[in-house]
């Protein structure tokens, strides 16, 4: 949902599909990485599977927003 909203907001402001797609995916993946780093230093369980799911979700969300 984060990447979809980011894509749509960037698309409206810049009208450049490629920039909006890459930026929204990058931002969403960065949030996922930040959460995993947080889990390393605080009570939690960092997971590569969770990060992979975050990345896949970011890509699919941005692509779905771009198609619709």
Averaged pLDDT, groups of 10, the chain, 68 residues long = 89 86 93 94 90 94 83
pLDDT (0 to 100) of residue 1 = 87
Instruction: Look at residue 55 in the predicted model and tell me its pLDDT.
Output: 94
Q: What number of CA atoms fall less than 13 Å from residue 36's CA on the CB side?
A: 16
Residues 6+ apart with CB under 8 A from 13: none
Q: What is the pLDDT of residue 68?
A: 62
């Amino acid at each position: 949902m984060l990447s979809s909203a980011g894509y749509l907001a960037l698309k409206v402001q810049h009208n450049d599909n490629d920039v909006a797609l890459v930026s929204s995916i990058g931002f969403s993946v960065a949030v996922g990485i930040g959460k995993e780093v947080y889990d390393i230093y605080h009570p939690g369980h960092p997971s590569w599977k969770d990060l992979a799911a975050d990345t896949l979700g970011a890509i699919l969300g941005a692509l779905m927003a771009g198609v619709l």
